[in-house]
Amino acid sequence: MNLLFYLVPVAALIALLFAWIFFRQMMKESEGTPTMKEIAQYVREGAMAYLKQQYKVVIIVFAVLAVLFAVLAYGFGVQNPWVPFAFLTGGFFSGLAGFVGMKTATFASARTANATMRSLNSGLKIAFRSGAVMGLTVVGLGLLDIAIWWTVLKLVYDPSEAQNLVVITTTMLTFGMGASTQALFARVGGGIYTKAADVGADIVGKVEQDIPEDDPRNPATIADNVGDNVGDVAGMGADLYESYCGSILATMALGASAFFGDTDMQMRAILAPMMIAALGVVLSILGIYVVRTKEGASLKDLLGSLSRGTNLAAVLIAVLSFGVFYVLGFANWWMLSLSVLSGLLAGVIIGKVTEYYTSHSYKPTQKLAESSQTGPATVIINGVGLGMISTAVPVVTICAAILLAYGFATGFNFSVNTLSQGLYGISIAAVGMLSTLGITLATDAYGPIADNAGGNAQMSELDPSVREKTDILDSLGNTTAATGKGFAIGSAALTALALLASYIEEIKIGLGHIGKTVLEVGGRTVDTVSASIMDIVNYYDITLMNPMVLVGVFVGAMMAFLFCGLTMNAVGRAAEKMVIEVRRQFREIAGILEGKQRPDYTSCVRISTKAAQHEMIFPSLLAIIVPMLVGVILGPAGVIGLLAGGLGAGFVLAIFLANSGGAWDNAKKYVEEGHFGGKNSSSHHATVVGDTVGDPFKDTSGPSLNILIKLMSMVSIVMAGLTVMLH
């Protein structure tokens, strides 16, 4: 069975190999005209400059936290000695994944634009393969990190002891905290950067001066395009690296505890998520190769081709998961596979619902566009309403998936005795959803690449037909990305649930560290090491009647809102500065609007860089400090309340923000297509206000929430030792 493990590093290396192949293929293409090259170079430089600034801040935060963990580990002895190192590697690999993705994207955009001049199909191929570089890098680095730590820790802790398997897997979870921390900074910083530029550019460009998006006369255009790369590409890469590793690591930890005592079964349960992920890599590469169309393919062909790739990978992973559990010798192998299937189905449904609410092919967004006839206020009211209503089906779907995944894993026994197995079922469902990330992320990341290609085409003043084609590619990406986004959202909720259980596990280990080897629970005495999750729950009274838990729930729900408010205001403030600067340039630099004089792009780049670097610090630190404080003040019961409240409110809030933003974006496009007065009508201006408001909703605050939820869990897990010492 140990041989099976070698599939994992092999899959990791295969992923990285193919990422490298696709990267080389893309680099062979021409970047086009000298202007195209020049603009691509501007964007590349801006993006790299920003990333350097961001990493500087992140390195300081990581250094401080690593020292703190070292003190807790070596000074107070309440933490595993490997934690500081695991934490650092997680952050490093997450940053690397974002860096590679962004590097690739900035090289790919001009090449995509250039290839699109030849044909839509050539453009698609380059953009999509470049997206695949990011997808495969994320999964490759993730699996590699997991494989390395598993190998190292198995050498240190004898894996034939049940407790050691728990220690190994929970230690590995802390590299998840590193990944989450870096991801949060990347998402928040990148999100603020891109939306400050985008909102600023839109307000002066589209609303006040009536010039199109990405027009070279707009001083904020380069900043806007840089932003797409640092926010949508680098941010998304770090984000999904965190999700991917988090789901696998949480499942490994749950596997070690669910089958505690039977080291053989523990080992199988630990291997299962790694195996599914490794197979997912192979299927993703297969799927990527399926995405190829004949020259002169119609739009429908292209769409079909993209969907074929992701669907094939998803269907095959569902089928193969039966094989994985069978080969690993699980008695309930087909039931566990049905848990995985429940997760995959939930992801597909959430994706479809998202599409229904946010695509202008359907009623809700069309109605939203219609309300633009009565001005921006009704567009905003109806968009907020639409987003809030759109949370219903995804939440009910994820609830059904939770109960089904749990039910299948336990034979629909909902008693406390099978709790761990049930949670394992939930967690492995999340792994299934993310296992084909190699290809789903490719369909997601390829959107911003196509978008940037369009920006390059516009700024290089290529024939408008090029921009039209890249727009088609972009909107194609939005449709195919829906499934991937459904998987990402759904798996975040499931993983966060699993992390609640991991927290309890870590509390147990913490009790061991402070020498509390037996616990009094409800009149019985139990060994701490063999205490069940329910024993710990009873020991700390983690019920919903405990005021600590209820206070925690309030604080958790509040954290989701506070975090969003801070990031939203950061965008608002930075965008105002951008507007003022752009207005100044139009006013003071003669000839910009006539295209006779180049605007000063760098001052806008500077505003975004400074704002992002400055504004990302407070909300991100809050996400780290509040769970620590709650642990210190309210104890484990308060922490569980915090995590549950944050998860409940944050998950729903994230869907609301994402869907409101998406619907506003597409309502604007719908009007631009000629409805209700078309471009430059008062309806159009009203929808531009909606789109602008939606920018930070869907690209800054919303996507950061999923990371926030998991980071708060990770911080709690890592700080559990201290919490136990104090309570």
Query: Is residue 611 involved in binding a second copy (CB under 8 A)?
Result: no
Burial grade of 366 (CB within 10 A; 0-12, 13-18, 19 or more): middle
Pick the closer one to a second copy by CB: 76 or 414: 414
Amino acid sitting at position 578: M
Q: Are 176 and 253 spatial neighbours (Cβ–Cβ below 8 Å)?
A: no
Q: Is 652 in the site for a second copy (CB under 8 A)?
A: yes
| Beta bridge mates, 521 | 524
| Element of type H or E holding 633 | helix 617-672
x/- binding map, residues 509-528, to a second copy, per CB under 8 A? -------------xx-----
The only residue of 205, 347, 432, 645 in contact with a second copy, by rule CB under 8 A: 645
Is 313 an interacting residue with respect to a second copy (CB under 8 A)?
A: no
629 near a second copy, judged by CB under 8 A: no
- Residue number with CB closer to a second copy (477 or 690): 690
Nearest-angstrom CA–CA distance, 535 and 518: 11
- Report the site for a second copy in 660-699 (rule: CB under 8 A): 688-689, 692-693, 696
Residue type, 60: I
Q: Residue 527: enclosing H or E segment and its boundaries?
A: strand 524-527
Q: Does 414 interact with a second copy (rule: CB under 8 A)?
A: yes
Judged by beta carbon, residue 263 or residue 421, the one nearer a second copy is 421
> Would you call 375 helix, strand, or coil by DSSP?
coil
C-beta of 135 vs 376, nearer to a second copy: 376
Q: Does 302 bind a second copy (CB under 8 A)?
A: no
Instruction: Enumerate residues 200-219 that contact a second copy by CB under 8 A.
Output: 202-203, 207-208
Q: Which long-range contacts (CB under 8 A, 24 or more apart) does 665-670 make?
A: 665/358, 665/691, 665/694, 665/698, 666/358, 666/359, 666/360, 666/365, 667/360, 667/365, 667/366, 667/368, 667/369, 667/372, 667/379, 667/383, 667/691, 668/369, 669/360, 669/475, 670/360, 670/365, 670/366, 670/369
Binding segment for a second copy among 38-46, 141-149, 220-228, 378-386 (CB under 8 A)?
378-386
Q: 304 or 385, CB closer to a second copy?
A: 385
CB 365, min distance to a second copy, A: 13
Residue tagged 């053989």 (tokens):
264
Q: Does 541 bind a second copy (CB under 8 A)?
A: yes
CB of 716 to a second copy, least distance (A): 13
Smallest gap from Cβ 485 to a second copy, in A, equals 18
Q: What are phi and psi of 521, to 5 degrees?
A: -125, 115
Is the Cβ of residue 68 or residue 504 nearer to a second copy in the bound state? Answer: 504
Binding residue for a second copy, selected from 97, 271, 350, 493, defined by CB under 8 A: 493
SS3 125: helix
> Considering beta carbons, is residue 233 or 511 the nearer one to a second copy?
511
Asked if 263 interacts with a second copy (CB under 8 A), we say no
Closest to a second copy by CB, 108 vs 349, is 349
- 8 A C-beta contact, residue 179 and residue 138: no
Check binding of 589 to a second copy (CB under 8 A).
no
For a second copy, the binding residues in 217-246 under the rule CB under 8 A are none
Whole-number Å distance between alpha carbons of 75 and 64: 15
Measured from the CB atom, the residue of 157 and 656 that comes closer to a second copy is 656
Q: Considering CB under 8 A, how many residues would be counted as binding a second copy?
A: 98
Binding segment (CB under 8 A) for a second copy, from list 232-240, 274-282, 420-428, 596-604: 420-428
Tell me whether residue 450 or residue 568 sits nearer to a second copy (CB atom): 568
Q: Which of 426, 462, 616, 708 binds a second copy (CB under 8 A)?
A: 426
Should residue 726 be labelled a site residue for a second copy when binding is judged by CB under 8 A? no
Beta bridge partners of 525: 520
Considering beta carbons, is residue 472 or 724 the nearer one to a second copy?
724
Binding positions for a second copy, 546-585, rule CB under 8 A: 546-551, 553-558, 560-562, 564-569, 571-573, 575-576, 579-580
**CA 184/CA 175 separation, integer angstroms:** 14
Binds a second copy (CB under 8 A): choice among 533, 592, 658, 715: 533
- Contact letters for a second copy, residues 696-715 (x by CB under 8 A): x-------------------
One residue of 22, 656, 670, 676 binding a second copy per CB under 8 A: 656
**Closest to 639 measured CA to CA, from 562, 537, 515:** 537
Q: How far is the CB of 534 from a second copy (least distance, A)?
A: 7
| Alpha-carbon gap, residue 26 to 555, rounded angstroms | 48
Smallest distance, a second copy to C-beta of residue 415, A: 8
Q: For residue 575, give every residue at least 6 positions away whose Cβ sits within 8 Å of its Cβ, in sequence order, or none.
A: 195, 196, 199, 200, 203
Measure Cα distances from 266 to 119, 165, 249 in Å: 53, 8, 14
Q: Is 176 exposed, middle or buried (0-12, 13-18, 19+ CB in 10 A)?
A: buried
Nearer to a second copy, 287 or 650 (CB): 650
67 lies in the binding site for a second copy (CB under 8 A): no
Q: Near a second copy by CB under 8 A, which window of 140-148, 216-224, 286-294, 532-540?
A: 532-540
Distance CA 229, CA 105 (A): 7
Nearer to a second copy (CB atom), residue 199 or residue 711: 199
Question: CB of 15 within 8 A of CB of 95?
Answer: no
Instruction: Supply the Cα-derived Rg of the chain in whole angstroms.
Output: 25
User: Is residue 724 near a second copy by the rule CB under 8 A?
Assistant: no
Q: How far apart are CA 626 and CA 344, in angstroms?
A: 33
CA distances from 43 to 70, 91, 110, 227 (A): 39, 25, 10, 9
377 forms part of the interface with a second copy (CB under 8 A): yes
Window 387 to 406, contacts with a second copy (CB under 8 A): 387-392, 395-396, 398-399, 402-403, 406
**Site residues (CB under 8 A) for a second copy, limited to 346-375:** 371, 373-375
